[in-house]
Every structure is written in structure tokens, then in C-alpha cells.
Chains A and B, each alone.
Chain A
């Protein structure tokens, strides 16, 4: 594998992990624009646990401790944050991310504004298997009782409550587990590039991750995978097409095309690329089943 392909693969894997972190709350209809905050927590915590100036633990242990650390913080803040809904939830998670980044820049023992070097290196042989595990875990998670509960909350919260779903618990678990996944992604980012600074994890990152999920679709666990792959592949492909055709303006403006693509995608597939209806249709096409009766209402548009 060439170095360029490997670099692209790493970016894709990290995006997928982040996207699943946002997907879990989004599956229950909670929009989380605070991805950068949880990624920062994970990256810095793991780097500190691992660093010679910190706790000097082995890499795998620091990553896990960072996940626990982020999980505890996410659990604690999930109660006030989940009291808010809709626009307020987007704003609250966003504010949380800004507070985290503001604090991280000012902590001198993790390097402050000049960034923090990370000791142990995680290469592609670590990141790819971990990503596959995250994908498998997310599919499993969405197929459990809790996953079903999340989907029912997404479709109609009042009806879910009437059917005995503990809405609060389901939301808190989804939020916390999602935060832990983002922490994992952040730690891997730090350990792969061996250098972190809080400014890299900015609003744009949070926005992009939320877009991965919403474009891929929040109805099925395929959504974040498709969304992240789409984001990683389409701009690069556009660049290669543009360069081979000698169109300089297209190469420079490929993200503009991409933005237009997002707008058009929302026109034609408002629930994201992958919906339950499409999944069923593909499934019945692939396995030659006569008809798949889905037990949930409201799939597709």
C-alpha cells in the first residue's frame, strides 16, 4: 500500500469512529455538535496517561483509561444537556466543545497552546482492526433492545414512552457510549500523528462529523459508514478527475462542488443516503426474499 493510500485510509478510519460516536445519540434524534470536545478529551487524556511527564502507562491502557475518563464526564454532563432539546441541544453540546477546547489550551501540563507531543505510535495495523471492531460493535448495539429503543425514540418519543421505554436511560447511555467512541477516535488520532493541539479539534470538525452522520442517514447503522466514506472519497475523486482533465478551477473548487452535492442530496434523500426502506429493498434484492416486513413504521421519507 502506498503512503498516500495509507494516509487516506487512516483519515477514513478515524472519521468512521468519530461518526459512530455521533451516530448513537443521533439514532435517538439527539443532535450532538460537540464532537470536537469529546475528541479533545480523549486525545489529551490518552496522551497524558501515556506520556513520560504523565502516568507512563502502556498505550492500550491509556486509551482505555481515556475512554473511561471521557465516559464519566459525558455521563455527568448528559443530564443537564439531555434536558435540552432540538436547537438548544445543538447549542449546548457546541458550547461544551468550546469550553473543553478553551480549557485544554490553557492546561500547561499538557502543553497549553503550543500543543502536546504523544509518545507511543499507533500505526495502520492498530487503527484498522479497532475501526472494524467499532463498526461491529455499533451494528450489535443497534440490534439490541436498547438500540431498538433508540430508534423508537427517534421516530416518536411519546409513543416510545407509552410502550414502556425508559427514554432518559436510553438517551444517557447512547450519549455516553457515543462520547467514549469519540474519545477512542481522538486517542488514536493522537497516537497516530504523535502530536495534538486543541486548535485542530475545532467547530468545523464537529460540523463535518455531524454531516457524515446526517448525510449517511441516522436510521440504520450503515449511515455513518456510508457518510464517512462518502466524505473521504468524493472530494479526493473530484480532485483526481479534475487534475487528470487539467481543470485547475475544479481541483481548487472541489469542496464547493461537494457543498452543492450536500444541498442536492438533502433535496433528494432527506433522511440520508441509507434508510430502512432502502436497506430492506437491497436486502430483498440480494437474498431473494419475497418481502421483508419491517416492524417499525416511518422508514424512508
Chain B
């Protein structure tokens, strides 16, 4: 029974990883680079959610309190986090992709987006450290600790809701990719950006959309993280994103469904490793698996062989 309980916990943790893994996989699939602003955006959304809920924003706390009242400040938190992250994504897109693309042709040729995105990671982490300090910040969950149990297995209601929510968001995304005009344009860019341009896809207008979508995925995931685990700090993005990267590779780069399955699997693997070999050793199975996978089957479970063939 304890094992099943651990599996359930792993599945819940996997729900957090799924969205971050999908964000990574979208950017790699479309634009062929490892976007290190994703951990930053995840962390920033989680911290903004905390700050709005607890009245710790640098400014505007009274305004939010007067509009939403004590009860519904979590709604304000969601709005603030989503809006700020969407705007930040647009700024990031300018400096990691658009400008470089306009100036140097293929932006991914020079490892430019990678370095710029690391620059943004530094900016966001130190912004949070200098505003809220580097100690863990503890929020009070607006939904309490509601749980129910089937047999002896305990389910936490907020966690189930967020797992379902994250799956719904991701499934909507993959339907969008498959069925809509925007999705077709995105897939065309992923396949071959130059041909897509010739076919009348406006790459310059679609790429910001990709950034905003991935940014919002990170934001939703960060908000759910704050609600469920209540404790955030400036470096929470690093630990979550590194595991999400493992999940993404497991599923295959550029494959949304792969990222979902990989994220859930890695969540369970992490919880089971902590349960079986202890927290200190839990890193080894996850990263050992990833290393073996990259060496022997780099396309992952459902990956596409074309992705990641670029220089960086």
C-alpha cells in the first residue's frame, strides 16, 4: 500500500514536471535551442504567486487587497503571474531569437540564444534574491489541506486538481498543434523554417506566440507549485527544470506527448528512488537513466531524428 501511495505522490509531482517539460520540448522542437529562461519563468511565476497572495509585492499590495479582498487574493496572484510572465516572454523573445535572427541569419548558429537565455536566468534569479531574499518563502495555501482517501491511499485535492489541470492544458495544446491553422504553422516552422517562410508562414509573428505559450505553461506550472507545495525560493526553477529536462529527453525531444509521459514517469521515478534508496541517492537513477538514454537512444521514446541536429 505504501508503494501505491508513493506512486500516487510521484504522479502528482510528475504533473508539475509535465508542463515544464512540454515548454522545453516546444522550444527545442520549433526553434532548436535549449531555453534556460524556462526555469527562470517557472520560478518567477511561483514567487509572484506567493508575493501577491501574501501581500509581499514591491508595490500595489493595497490596491490588490482593496479590489480582491483577503479571500480572493489568490485570484489576483494568478492574474499577476500570468500577465507578467507573458510580457517577460515577449522581451525574452526579442533578445534570444528575433534580434539575432534579423542580424545574423540563423540565430541558432552561434549558441547565441543559449547564452542570452542564461543571461536572463541570472537576471530573474538575482531580481528575486534582491527583492525577496534568498531564504525559502512560505505561502499559506488558500485551499487548505483538503484530502480524501480511497482505501488507505491519501489523495490531496489541490494536487489532483492541478494534475488534471496540467493535463487538460497540455492536451488542449496538442489539439491546437494538430488541428488549428496556428498549429499547422508551428509544425511547419519546426519542420523547416525557410520553407515555411516561402509557404507564407509569417515566422516573425509566430515565434513570439511560441514564446508566450511556453511562458504561460511555465507560469501555470509555477502557480500550481506554489499552491501545492507552498514553499518557493529563487532557485526552485533550477531543480524542477533539470528534472523536467530529463523527462523531456526520455519522451523524445520535440514531442509533446513524449514530454507528458516522460514528465509523469520521471516524477514517479524520483519519488520511488527517494523511497527506495533515499533522497541523497535519488539523483543517480534519474541522471544515470538520462545519460544512458542519450548515449544509446538519443531520440528517446517517441522522438524525431531531425531535432537537435543543428550546431547548438
Contacts and interface: CB of A to CB of B under 8 A. Distances in A.
Interface of A: 29, 31, 80-81, 83-88, 90-92, 94-96, 98-99, 101-103, 105-106, 112-113, 203-204, 207, 210-211, 214-215, 249, 252-253, 255-256, 258-263, 266-267, 270-271, 301
B275 interface: no
A87 B283 contact: no
A86 B310 contact: yes
Contact of A85 (B245, B296, B309): B309
A259 B126 contact: yes
B283 A259 contact: no
Interface of B: 28, 32-34, 36, 95, 99-100, 103-104, 110-112, 114-116, 118-127, 129-130, 238, 242, 245-246, 249, 253, 280-284, 286-288, 290-291, 294-296, 298, 308-312
A259 B283 CA distance: 29
Contacts of A210: 118
B298 A259 contact: no
Nearest to A254: B126
Contacts, number: 146
A86 B281 contact: no
Q: Which of A29, A80, A84, A99 is packed against the most chain B CB atoms within 10 Å?
A: A99
B289 to A, nearest CB: 9
A84 B294 contact: yes
A88 B281 contact: no
Given A87-B32, A98-B283, A253-B127, A266 B311 contact: no
A92 B104 contact: no
A88 B291 contact: no
Nearest to B113: A266
Nearest to B33: A87
A298 B1 CA distance: 63
5 contacts: A91-B290, A258-B126, A266-B112, A267-B95, A270-B104
Given A95-B246, A252-B130, A258-B122, A263 B308 contact: no
A92 B295 contact: yes
Nearest to A262: B119
Contact of A204 (B110, B238, B298, B308): B238
Classify the secondary structure of B's interface with A.
helix
A85 B130 contact: no
Nearest to A250: B130
Nearest to B277: A106
Given A249-B130, A255-B126, A255-B129, 20 more contacts: A29-B311, A31-B111, A31-B114, A31-B312, A80-B296, A84-B294, A85-B311, A86-B308, A87-B32, A88-B294, A92-B291, A94-B245, A96-B287, A99-B284, A207-B36, A211-B115, A255-B125, A263-B120, A266-B95, A266-B119
Q: Which of A87, A113, A270 is packed against the most chain B CB atoms within 10 Å?
A: A87
Contact of B291 (A90, A95, A260, A301): A95
B295 A259 contact: no
B291 A87 contact: no
Given A101-B283, A262-B119, A253 B130 contact: yes
Contacts of A81: 294-295
- For the complex of A and B, the 7 pairs showing the least CB-CB separation, nearest first, are A262-B119, A102-B283, A259-B123, A259-B122, A80-B295, A255-B126, A98-B287
Contacts of B309: 85-86
Contact of B118 (A80, A95, A256, A262): A262
B291 A99 contact: yes
Contacts of B124: 259
Nearest to B119: A262
Nearest to B127: A256
A91 B294 contact: yes
A29 B238 CA distance: 25
A91 B126 contact: no
A270 B112 CA distance: 6
Contacts of B99: 267
A4 B127 CA distance: 26
A255 B124 CA distance: 10
A263 B35 CA distance: 14
Contacts of A106: 280-281, 284
Contacts of A267: 95, 99-100, 103
Contact of B288 (A91, A99, A263): A99
A88 B299 CA distance: 9
A95 B290 contact: yes
A200 to B, nearest CB: 14
B236 to A, nearest CB: 13
Contacts of B100: 266-267, 270
A103 B119 contact: no
Nearest to B241: A203
Nearest to A100: B287
B129 to A, nearest CB: 8
Contacts of A96: 287, 291
